[in-house]
Amino acid sequence: MTTKEKLLYRYEEIRRLVVNSYVWKSVFRHGYRDNPRNRILMVASNVFMHLHPSKVRRHGIKISYTWCAGGLTFLIFLVTVVTGVILMFYYRPVSEYAYIDMKYLEFDIPFGMIMRNMHRWAAHSMVIMVMLHMFRVFMTGSYKPPREFNWVIGVVLLVLTFLLSFTGYLLPWDQLSIWAVTVGTNMARATPLLGSEGPLAEQVRALTGGVVATPRYDARSLLTAGTIVSAPTLLRFYVLHCIFIPIAAAVLMIVHFWRVRKDGGISGPL
């Protein structure tokens, strides 16, 4: 056997080991070969080519079973997206303007007050709904195999929902939001490894020559873009709130819904 053949053989061995592992199979359930007979199966197993399930079981649409909590969380997310985009037309994430823009939006712009309040109440409801949804999923034991990966995606969605709420809280740029975010970001000092006052910070400082895990370069300064909550923090939170976190949440929601189908639809009553 030549060296090239040996390498190819080794590669195939490793590929089979990974593809046949439990973790791989719990994430990617299908590995159809591309031939004319399998093509419909490939389409049906792709979230973008085949968005809606071909059949739904009776309990899957029963309100008393799901409380429609996941569906309502998604609906409320859409409300925050639509109202949020409208608010973006009138809000500037600059310390000189943010507060007056918010006041102008509330008292001068037609329908501004209802848009702001719809966004705010939808955001609060989303936090409540996602927790109710998680509670339902837990109580019906829907986190058990084969749905364990979807539970993990759900946990990330929960964290993203909290982060959306937290980053949005700073944007009115009033005393309440500035001090609430000061308190919130202060907690990041205690992050393990990366917080300047967190566990193992001393070791990280020693390893990086006293650069990382210091008040200037730690988990907290990464959030606040400085050593205190100030104008750069507002811009950073704005970009995170309007772009990064919503896109990450939307992508994960697509995967979440796709997994519900691939895991055999909504779990059955116990």
Token output for 85: 């985009």
Least CB distance to ligand HEM at residue 248 (A): 11
Nearest residue to 41 (alpha-carbon basis) of 266, 262, 253, 254:
262
Nearest-CB residue to ligand HEM? Answer: 154
* The binder of ligand HEM chosen from 98, 122, 123, 133 (CB under 6 A): 133
Contacts of 255 (CB under 8 A, 6+ apart): 47, 153
* The binder of ligand HEM chosen from 116, 147, 189, 261 (CB under 6 A): 147
What is the CA 208 to chain-centroid distance, rounded?
Answer: 31
**Residue 218 near residue 197 (C-beta atoms within 8 A):** no
CA distance 139 to 57: 20
Options 4-12, 90-98, 137-145, 193-201: segment touching ligand HEM (CB under 6 A): 137-145
Residue 75 binds ligand HEM, judged by CB under 6 A: no
CA distance 86 to 94: 18
Residue 162 binds ligand HEM, judged by CB under 6 A: no
Q: Which residues of 209-244 are buried (b: 16+ CB within 10 A; e: fewer)?
A: eeebbeeebbbbbebbbeeebeeebbebbbebbbee
* The binder of ligand HEM chosen from 99, 143, 162, 217 (CB under 6 A): 143
Residue 81 binds ligand HEM, judged by CB under 6 A: no
Residue 164 binds ligand HEM, judged by CB under 6 A: no
Closest to ligand HEM by CB, 61 or 88: 61
Chain residues that interact with ligand HEM, rule: CB under 6 A = 66, 68-71, 73-74, 77, 130, 133-134, 137, 140, 142-143, 147, 150-151, 154-155, 157-158, 161, 253, 256, 260, 266-267
